[in-house]
C-alpha cells in the first residue's frame, strides 16, 4: 500500500446571474415615521448574508447609518418580484435593485429636508449618521427622523423608492452562435493537494490554496465565510455526495447520512484564500459576488490532483474510492505523475 501525493490546479471564469428570459430583481425602499428605512424584497437569504449586504447597500446609498435600515425579505406573495437566490445573482442583481430604490427614496428625502430647511435640495448632503445638512454649514441641519415625520405628517410625501435591475434576455445569433449571457464575470483559481491511497482508493484533502476575483468585497467577513464553507461544498461534490451513485441506474441510492456521505469536521484541511477586488462597472459599488463560484474550481482541481497523484483520469463525479480503485486496476497500477 502506498499513499501518493498529488497537486491539481483549476481556473474558472464564472458568469454572475443567468439568462433565461431575462434576469430581473425588484426592490422597494420606504421610510417609517421613526426615520428608519425598510427594504422590501422577496429575495431569500440562504444564510450567506444577502440581508446584510443589501442593508449595507441601502444605507450607503441613502446616506444613513446601517442600523437605521431593516431588510424584510418577506415572501414572494407580498414582496416585489425577484427571480431568486441562485446563480450567484443576489449581490449583483438584488443589490443593484436596492441601490436604485434607495436612490429614488433619497431624492424624496432630500426634497422633504429642503422644504423644512428652506433651502435648495441640491445644496444638501447627508452625514451618514442620521442627519441632513447644508453643504459647508453643518449647523443648518435636520435629522432624518424629523424629515420622515415632516414628510408624513406635514408635507404629505412618501419617502420611498422603487428599484429594478434587469439583465435583458440575450438571444443567440443564428448566424454566429454568439450571445452575451451575463454582464459580468468573476474569476477564481484553486490549487488542491490530495493524498490517494492506492489500496483503498480513498482520497484525503491535504490543503487548498486559492485566489478569488469577485468585484468589490462589500462585506469581507461574509465573503470569507462563503469562500471557506463553499470550498467544502466543492470537495463534497468532488469526492462524496451523490443521490444516484450508479447513475443512470437508480440502485443503491443513499437513505441516510451514513450512505449520503459528506465531509465531517475531521476531514477539513488548511485553505489559504486570497481575495482580489476588481470592481465591476455594473455592480453595486463594484460588487459581483462570490456565490456558487466558491465551490466550482474545487471539483476540477481535485480531479486533476488525483490524476497527478496516481495517473488516473476520472471524469465522473463524485470520485469515490471504488472509481479510483477500478481506474488504478484498469491502468495496471498507480502511475504517479511528475510533481507539479
**Separation between Cα atoms, residue 170 and residue 113, nearest integer Å:** 42
Q: Is 170 in the site for another protein (CB under 8 A)?
A: no
* Separation of alpha carbons 282 and 151, rounded Å: 33
Is 224 a binding residue for another protein by CB under 8 A? The answer is: yes
User: Residue 109 to residues 30, 129, 146, 155: CA-CA distances in angstroms?
Assistant: 10, 15, 11, 11
C-beta of 84 vs 181, nearer to another protein: 84
275 binds another protein (CB under 8 A): no
If binding is defined by CB under 8 A, does position 55 make contact with another protein?
Answer: no
Output the CA torsion sign for 283, 23, 228, 231: negative
Residue number, 141 or 225, with CB nearest to another protein: 225
Segment interacting with another protein, rule: CB under 8 A, options 27-35, 40-48, 95-103, 311-319: 40-48
Largest CA distance in the chain: 87
Nearest-approach distance from CB 238 to another protein, in angstroms: 14
Element (H, E) at 231: helix 220-239
Nearer to another protein, 52 or 170 (CB): 52
- Given the complex with another protein, which of 107 and 229 has the nearer CB atom? 229
Q: How far is the CB of 237 from another protein (least distance, A)?
A: 12
Please report whether residue 231 would count as binding another protein according to CB under 8 A: yes
Instruction: List, in sequence order, every residue forming a beta bridge with 14; answer none if it has no partner.
Output: 186
Question: What is the C-alpha to C-alpha distance for residues 59 and 67, in angstroms, rounded to an integer?
Answer: 8
Q: Does 225 bind another protein (CB under 8 A)?
A: yes
Question: Of 166, 268, 276, 325, which lies in the binding site for another protein, with binding defined by CB under 8 A?
Answer: 268
Beta carbon of residue 257, minimum distance to another protein (angstroms, whole number): 3
By the rule CB under 8 A, 266 interacts with another protein: yes
Contacting residues for 119 by C-beta, under 8 A, at least 6 apart: 134, 140
Residue 219 beta carbon to another protein: minimum distance, rounded to whole angstroms: 10
Residue 315's CB is within 10 A of a number of other CB atoms, namely 8
Q: Is 189 in the site for another protein (CB under 8 A)?
A: no
Alpha-carbon distance of 133 to 300, in angstroms, equals 55
Nearest to 51 by CA among 281, 198, 252, 219: 219
With CB under 8 A as the rule, give the number of residues binding another protein: 25
* Rounded alpha-carbon distances, angstroms, from residue 312 to 206, 240, 251, 305, 306: 19, 18, 26, 10, 7
- Return the axis-axis angle of helices 95-117 and 50-62, rounded to nearest 10°: 30
- Nearest approach, Cβ of 134 to another protein (angstroms)? 40
Q: Among the candidate windows 58-66, 124-132, 165-173, 231-239, which touches another protein by CB under 8 A?
A: 231-239
**257 is an interface residue for another protein by CB under 8 A:** yes
Sequence-ordered list of residues with C-beta below 8 angstroms from that of 210, at least 6 positions apart, any chain: 188, 189, 190, 191, 227, 231, 271, 272, 273, 274, 297
Question: Closest approach of Cβ 294 to another protein, in Å?
Answer: 9
296 binds another protein per the rule CB under 8 A: no
Please identify which residue in 150, 189, 228, 276 interacts with another protein, judged by CB under 8 A.
Answer: 228
Applying CB under 8 A, the residues found at the interface with another protein are 46-49, 221-222, 224-226, 228-233, 256-258, 262-266, 268, 271
Amino acid at each position: 500500500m502506498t499513499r501518493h501525493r498529488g497537486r491539481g490546479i483549476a481556473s474558472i471564469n464564472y458568469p454572475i446571474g443567468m439568462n433565461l428570459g431575462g434576469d430581473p430583481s425588484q426592490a422597494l425602499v420606504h421610510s417609517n415615521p421613526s426615520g428608519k428605512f425598510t427594504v422590501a424584497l422577496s429575495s431569500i437569504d440562504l444564510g450567506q448574508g444577502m440581508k446584510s449586504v443589501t442593508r449595507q447597500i441601502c444605507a450607503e446609498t441613502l446616506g444613513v447609518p446601517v442600523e437605521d435600515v431593516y431588510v424584510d425579505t418577506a415572501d414572494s406573495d407580498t414582496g416585489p418580484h425577484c427571480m431568486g437566490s441562485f446563480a450567484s445573482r443576489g449581490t449583483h442583481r438584488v443589490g443593484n435593485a436596492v441601490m436604485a430604490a434607495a436612490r429614488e427614496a433619497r431624492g424624496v428625502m432630500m426634497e422633504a429636508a429642503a422644504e423644512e430647511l428652506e433651502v435648495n435640495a441640491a445644496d444638501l448632503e447627508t452625514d451618514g449618521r442620521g442627519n441632513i445638512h447644508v453643504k459647508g454649514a453643518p449647523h443648518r441641519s435636520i435629522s432624518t427622523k424629523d424629515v420622515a415625520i415632516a414628510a408624513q405628517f406635514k408635507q404629505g410625501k412618501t419617502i420611498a423608492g422603487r428599484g429594478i435591475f434587469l439583465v435583458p434576455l440575450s438571444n443567440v445569433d443564428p448566424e454566429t452562435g454568439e450571445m452575451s449571457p451575463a454582464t459580468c464575470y468573476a474569476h477564481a483559481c484553486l490549487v488542491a493537494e490530495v493524498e490517494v491511497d492506492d489500496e483503498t482508493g480513498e482520497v484525503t484533502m491535504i490543503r487548498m490554496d486559492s485566489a478569488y476575483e469577485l468585484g468589490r468585497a462589500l462585506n469581507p467577513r461574509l465573503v470569507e465565510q462563503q469562500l471557506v464553507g463553499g470550498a467544502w461544498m466543492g470537495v463534497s461534490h468532488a469526492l462524496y455526495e451523490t443521490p444516484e451513485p450508479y447513475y443512470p441506474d437508480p440502485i443503491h441510492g443513499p437513505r441516510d447520512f451514513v450512505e449520503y456521505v459528506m465531509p465531517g469536521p475531521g476531514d477539513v484541511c488548511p485553505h489559504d484564500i486570497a481575495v482580489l477586488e476588481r470592481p465591476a462597472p455594473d455592480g453595486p459599488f463594484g460588487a459581483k459576488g462570490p456565490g456558487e463560484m466558491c465551490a466550482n474550481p474545487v471539483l476540477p482541481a481535485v480531479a486533476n490532483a488525483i490524476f497527478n497523484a496516481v495517473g488516473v483520469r476520472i471524469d465522473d463525479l463524485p470520485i469515490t474510492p471504488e472509481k479510483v480503485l477500478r481506474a488504478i486496476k484498469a491502468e495496471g497500477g498507480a502511475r504517479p505523475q511528475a510533481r507539479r
